[in-house]
Amino acid sequence: MPHPVQIKQCPYCGGTEFVEGYQSGYGAVTGKESVWTWQNLYHIFCRNCGSVVHSYVQNPEKLLKIGNRRS
């Protein structure tokens, strides 16, 4: 599922082609309040220079305590 942020140009080299990848395992993200819920950290990086231009988790709600999540 593509991320809704549309990046048109790399702020570092001006490149216009991007690749998406992710970190998991020790690079995964957990919420401060939800100790056992892990999310992969996704990155969009420039194909030309390799700079990471955007990072995100797909389901940020899962990083909150169950009582603090939106219904």
Structural domain span for residue 26: 1-63
Please state the pTM of the whole predicted model. 0.70
- Of the pLDDT bands very low, low, confident and very high (cuts 50, 70, 90), residue 19 is very high
**Tens digit of pLDDT for each residue in 25-67?**
777 777 776 656 778 889 999 999 999 999 998 888 887 765 5
> 1 in a domain, yes or no?
yes
Overall number of domains in the chain: 1
> CA–CA separation, 29 vs 45, rounded Å?
18
Q: What is the pLDDT of residue 64?
A: 75
Q: What is the pLDDT of residue 63?
A: 79
Closest CA to 44 of 17, 11, 18: 18
> 68 in a domain, yes or no?
no
